[in-house]
């Protein structure tokens, strides 16, 4: 059925393809060279949904953004800086986040609670407000590819490439589009890999409905990637819906609801996979699909356990079809497992049938593991549960990047 | 109070220091060169307690050992091989584990259910019984230091040193002793780091009481170490009590119960720390102590989250006092945390007071982090909960060891 839904990727699309959005990005001086300040603006107060880090230590901007959204469930602009996470900065940090919100509201002449704030970068360092404040005024939003590129760069930290995607679908016979920009996971200074996602769409959908959909989709996309298992203090994914596509308000009863969910899923999944592929020091994207679990939840536990295993990650780096490590990761995943009925395949090769080695060709396996995307498929043969997870290999470069001094 | 209990380490002690025990170890040919077959024998059926891996995929010897103990709660000999884990070996694997039990029972002329079996090594490979069986007969047990050393070597895999310890205490005015031998964690072929622990004591204690004590102590010792978060299919810790020390049967009501718990705790903790220090590629032991948590359980969650964080492990390797990573690991540990009241110290240096940086000397911190043992102390200032965990740094060698081919 998903097949029949017509959601297609727009290669030349960008964060400003959905109607009503403009962006800007520039270098304010928080970072040495690259852009470090960006803004996403909507010509009208957009309906909004957001999910935040589950880390109990949450950075100041997370608190401020929650406060803004709670008031009216509308956001018209998101101000973002990279280079400093404004986390563990106490009272001063909260003041600074409010100042960023206030100055941005002034600039766009909108109420403060229409502004969301996001930061990523070094923890425990006071925000260089002397650099940020004057530059917020200098942000000139627009819809050109240059504007989109400048914005995309302004949210990056140790990312080696900018993550962006754009899809379109038909709802009520009208063309609607959704686009996103994200920055990568890893975590905390010096690698500063907070995960941030900014998604725009022109569909007509109420904030509460959008929130429910986002939570559900994020669980199957952004929450299924792992680079090192660490969770940042600043993670945030926010969706703005401008309601300019002219469709009837979307609800689960809408005839095209499935198309919308597919649109949101494709957007989030594509960004999530780009993040996993760009994990620190990563050379390969690992995609795990689990079927036949007792439940979808169990399937996801198993998939995450496999992509999260340091031993599986190093084996993939070493192009070693080490199924012993994979089966061990399945065993300790916490999911219901029948030790006798596990099938496993790496790419085209079946390694295990009913938990027994099939006698595969090590050479063939090693060749397959040279690829940039490694697929691991597991069938537990218990029930109908399915789940996916994405990760990357563990390399010398991960150690190098993370063992290096902050200075 | 713990201070007042007189439990002292016996440097020249060994696994056969407790009365009634003898051991042997030799090279049977499962491994290329080093010893790979060992036996621990007690002159009489010993009371026994054991804990096993929580991995749902459990190797054949685990099943056989459980079966033996269930029958009478007595074990007189433990037969152990390294080089092959006899895991994921199906029906044949179970037959082979039974054969090892049977041949060992014959050799010592004791009932089969007095024999425990343990294996560690490559997963999914059939056991080379043609090598193991004839060599079980060749095992000549004794109490010399050479016997102890031969046995200690026979259980090792990628361990770089043999882990052993011995303590003594006074119970009912009688000198009692406890000793242990262990092999290291990491996991699964090629690194083959199953965690195995064999503990002997001459105290008089019933199996069920010993089992309760062991479970409790293992939770605060062996279960508090992590090298890479992976859990093997073969982990086992077993304690044999020969009842030759002549003390009154130990129960929680016994006047010297605390001394016994301390004896067991010191033995397990010392072995656990040796295992963590010998983690694959490790150059440093990381010891985390958490105080002021809402509960002991929460304190342990936080301690484990810190030693388990790849980012903390790489920072320690890089001698980087990166408290941002530590506070993030505290935040995502799942424990109750007040983001405003966290104190943190690395060795002698306070890094955070009430979650705020104290402005420590990076140079001093870097110097401290050159040590071979790194202490991280956290105070959550919430309640009385305390907990400890041990781990090691994450190094280039961990990646090298685990990325290398099995062949």
Nearest residue in chain B measured CA to CA from A233? B328
Please write the tens of the pLDDT for every residue from A321-369: 889 889 988 988 889 999 889 999 999 999 999 998 888 898 999 999 9
> Is B194 noted as a catalytic residue in this protein?
yes
Inform me whether the pLDDT recorded for B190 exceeds 50. no
Task: Report whether B254 contacts B212 (CB < 8 A).
Answer: no
The confidence score (pLDDT) of residue A190 equals 33
The confidence score (pLDDT) of residue A121 equals 86
Nearest residue in chain A measured CA to CA from B357? A124
B341 touching chain A per CB within 8 A? no
Helices (H), ranges, A161-256: 207-220
Read off the tokens for B215. Answer: 């479970």
Lowest-pLDDT choice from A184-198, B50-64, B99-113, B359-373: A184-198
Read off the tokens for A209. Answer: 């409905």
Asked if the Cβ–Cβ distance from B331 to A187 is below 8 Å, we say: no
Q: Among partner residues B56, B124, B331, which is closest to A55 by beta-carbon distance?
A: B331
B5 touching chain A per CB within 8 A? no
Quick one: average pLDDT of B371-376?
96
Going by C-beta distance under 8 Å and a sequence separation of 6 or more, which residues neighbour residue A288? Answer: A303, A306, A307, A375, A376, A377, A378, A388, A389, A390, A391
A317 touching chain B per CB within 8 A? yes
B370 touching chain A per CB within 8 A? no
Lowest-pLDDT choice from A118-127, A230-239, B150-159: A230-239
A143 touching chain B per CB within 8 A? no
Q: How confident is the model at residue B231 (pLDDT cuts 50, 70, 90)?
A: low
The confidence score (pLDDT) of residue B407 equals 36
Quick one: average pLDDT of B384-405?
85
Instruction: Provide the shortest C-alpha distance from residue A354 to chain B (in Å).
Output: 10
Lowest-pLDDT choice from A28-37, A287-296, B230-239: B230-239
Biggest CA-to-CA distance, chain A:
68
Going by C-beta distance under 8 Å and a sequence separation of 6 or more, which residues neighbour residue B109? Answer: none
Higher pLDDT, B111 or B281: B111
Q: Which residues pair with B142 in a beta bridge?
A: B23
Residue that the structure tokens 């399937």 belong to = A299
d(CA A67, CA A54): 17
d(CA B324, CA B87): 40
Quick one: average pLDDT of B256-274?
93
Higher pLDDT, B302 or B359: B302
Residues of chain A with CATH 3.10.20.340: 285-403
Report whether B157 belongs to an annotated binding site: yes
Q: How far is CA A322 from CA A60, A208, A326, B156, in A?
A: 43, 45, 7, 21
B194 touching chain A per CB within 8 A? no
Average pLDDT score, chain A = 90
Inform me whether the pLDDT recorded for B215 exceeds 80. yes
Q: Which residues pair with A239 in a beta bridge?
A: A49, A199
Q: What is the DSSP letter of B221?
A: T
List phi, psi (to 5°) of A239: -120, 130
CA-closest candidate to residue A111, choices A135, A142, A75: A75
Query: Given the DSSP bridges, would you call strands A174-183 and A8-9 parallel, antiparallel or unpaired?
Result: unpaired
d(CA A345, CA A348): 7
The confidence score (pLDDT) of residue A291 equals 98
Please write the tens of the pLDDT for every residue from A85-142: 998 888 999 999 999 999 999 999 999 999 999 999 888 889 999 999 999 999 999 9
Which one of A348-352, A395-399, B394-398 scores highest in mean pLDDT?
A348-352
d(CA A65, CA A91): 16
Residues of chain B with CATH 3.60.70.12: 8-277
CA-closest candidate to residue B235, choices B295, B195, B293: B195
* CATH C-level class of A8-277: alpha beta
Q: Among partner residues B88, B309, B394, which is closest to A327 by beta-carbon distance?
A: B88
Residues 82-101 of B with CB under 8 A from A: 87-88, 90
Interface test with A, best of B120, B284, B311, B353 (most A CBs within 10 A): B311
Residue that the structure tokens 């220090």 belong to = B277
d(CA A348, CA A351): 10
d(CA A309, CA B4): 43
d(CA B403, CA B228): 14
The confidence score (pLDDT) of residue A384 equals 96
3-state secondary structure of B350: strand
Q: Which residues pair with B353 in a beta bridge?
A: B356
Nearest residue in chain B measured CA to CA from A357? B124
Asked if the Cβ–Cβ distance from B58 to A356 is below 8 Å, we say: no
Please write the tens of the pLDDT for every residue from B122-145: 888 899 999 999 999 999 999 999
The confidence score (pLDDT) of residue A357 equals 87
- In A27-95, DSSP assigns E strands to 37-52, 74-84
Read off the tokens for A160. Answer: 């080696």
Asked if the Cβ–Cβ distance from A337 to B396 is below 8 Å, we say: no
Q: How confident is the model at residue B117 (pLDDT cuts 50, 70, 90)?
A: very high
Average pLDDT score, chain B = 90
Q: Among partner residues A188, A310, A352, which is closest to B228 by beta-carbon distance?
A: A310
Inform me whether the pLDDT recorded for B94 exceeds 70. yes
Architecture of the domain delimited by B285-403: Roll (3.10)
The confidence score (pLDDT) of residue B265 equals 94
Q: Starting from the edge strand earliest in sequence, which strands make up the sheet with B373-379, in order?
A: B225-226, B385-392, B285-293, B373-379, B343-346, B349-353, B356-357
A73 touching chain B per CB within 8 A? no
Please write the tens of the pLDDT for every residue from A235-263: 889 999 999 999 999 999 999 999 999 99
Read off the tokens for B379. Answer: 């105070």
Inform me whether the pLDDT recorded for B64 exceeds 60. yes
Report whether B194 belongs to an annotated binding site: yes
Q: Which of A165, A194, A267, A395 is catalytic?
A: A194
Going by C-beta distance under 8 Å and a sequence separation of 6 or more, which residues neighbour residue B271? Answer: B163, B164, B165, B180, B181, B182, B197, B221, B222
């Amino acid at each position: 059925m998903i097949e029949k839904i017509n959601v297609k990727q727009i290669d030349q699309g960008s964060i400003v393809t959905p109607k009503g959005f403009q962006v800007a990005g520039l270098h304010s001086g928080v970072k040495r060279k690259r852009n470090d300040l960006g803004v996403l603006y909507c010509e009208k107060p957009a309906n909004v949904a957001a999910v935040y880090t589950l880390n109990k230590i949450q950075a100041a901007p997370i608190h401020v953004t929650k406060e803004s959204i709670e008031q009216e469930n509308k956001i018209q602009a998101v101000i973002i800086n990279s280079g400093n996470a404004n986390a563990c900065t106490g009272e001063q940090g909260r003041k600074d986040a409010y100042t960023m919100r206030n100055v941005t509201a002034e600039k766009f002449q909108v109420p403060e609670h229409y502004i969301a704030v996001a930061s990523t970068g070094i923890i425990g360092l006071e925000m260089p407000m002397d650099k940020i404040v004057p530059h917020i005024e200098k942000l000139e939003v627009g819809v050109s590819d240059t504007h989109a590129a400048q914005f995309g760069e302004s949210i990056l930290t140790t990312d080696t490439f900018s993550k962006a995607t754009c899809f379109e679908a038909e709802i009520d016979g009208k063309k609607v589009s959704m686009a996103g920009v994200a920055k990568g996971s890893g975590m905390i200074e010096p690698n500063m890999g907070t995960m941030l996602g900014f998604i725009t769409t022109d569909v007509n959908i109420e904030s509460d409905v959008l929130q429910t959909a986002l939570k559900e989709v994020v669980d199957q996309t952004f929450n299924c990637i792992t680079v090192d298992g660490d969770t940042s203090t600043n993670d945030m994914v926010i969706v703005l819906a401008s309601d300019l596509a002219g469709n009837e308000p979307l609800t689960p009863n809408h005839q095209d609801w499935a198309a919308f969910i597919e649109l949101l899923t494709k957007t989030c999944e594509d960004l999530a996979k780009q993040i996993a592929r760009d994990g620190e020091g990563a050379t390969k994207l690992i995609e795990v699909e689990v079927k036949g679990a007792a439940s979808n939840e169990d399937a996801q536990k198993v998939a995450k356990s496999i992509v999260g295993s340091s031993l599986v990650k190093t084996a993939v780096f070493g192009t070693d079809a080490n199924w012993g490590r994979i089966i061990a990761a399945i065993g300790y995943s916490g999911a219901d497992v029948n030790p006798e009925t596990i099938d496993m395949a790496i790419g085209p090769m079946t390694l295990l049938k009913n938990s027994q080695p099939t006698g595969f060709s090590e050479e063939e396996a090693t060749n397959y593991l040279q690829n940039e995307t490694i697929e691991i498929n597991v069938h537990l043969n218990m029930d109908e549960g399915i789940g996916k997870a994405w990760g990357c290999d563990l390399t010398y470069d991960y150690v190098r990047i993370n063992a290096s001094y902050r200075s």
